[in-house]
Amino acid sequence: IAALARQHPDPCAPQNNPAPGQACDDGSVYAGVSPDGNEHMYTTTSDAGQFTWNRGGGGWTDTMTDCSCTSPGAAETCQSGAENTSVLVELDGLDPTSPFLAAEYCAALSAHTKEDWYLPAQDELNVLFINNASIGNFVTDNANTARFYWSSSEADTIDACSQSFSNGSQSAE
């Protein structure tokens, strides 16, 4: 799935000016500053595998303000992965036909002694792409096919925003 991002608390001491890709004391990796410039973001040390957005089945619900799938996005949901993930996980509990597996995985993740992981929003995912060479461990080529990572941002009633870590292109899928 998509790269995972986490915000508080800060394990890399921002006063030390961490650089993207820097390993933190807790084992997470500093990913960069959030698109709004207010939060330090972190990721795990490895790709989590492949998950579907919502199994592609029935029960799809347009749950949030849509993003254009081009960074920077105008809506708050283009930058607020933690809030988006909470909405998607809560919806799973209300409608089991609409399981948002990538968001569920991130919300349930316990890694590097932390449990506040989430599926990054479109603009947060773009920060991870911009810094992916320093961060490492992203799949950029999957058998000569571009590898796309999910964001927690919706594009419309049937698509979510994703980003290729091969070339940076963002799209609705």
Nearest CA-CA partner of 111 in 137, 92, 129, 88? 137
Q: What is the pLDDT of residues 4-26, one digit of tens each?
A: 666 556 667 666 678 999 888 88
pTM of the model: 0.86
Percent of the chain with pLDDT over 90: 17
31 against 114, higher pLDDT: 31
Tell me the DSSP string of 33-73. E-TTSS-EEEE-SS------SSTT-S-----S----SSSSP
**Distances in whole angstroms, Cα of residue 65 to Cα of each of 58, 108, 125, 152:** 20, 24, 17, 11
Write the Ramachandran bin of 161: left for phi over 0, alpha for psi from -120 to 50, otherwise beta.
beta
3-state secondary structure of 32: strand
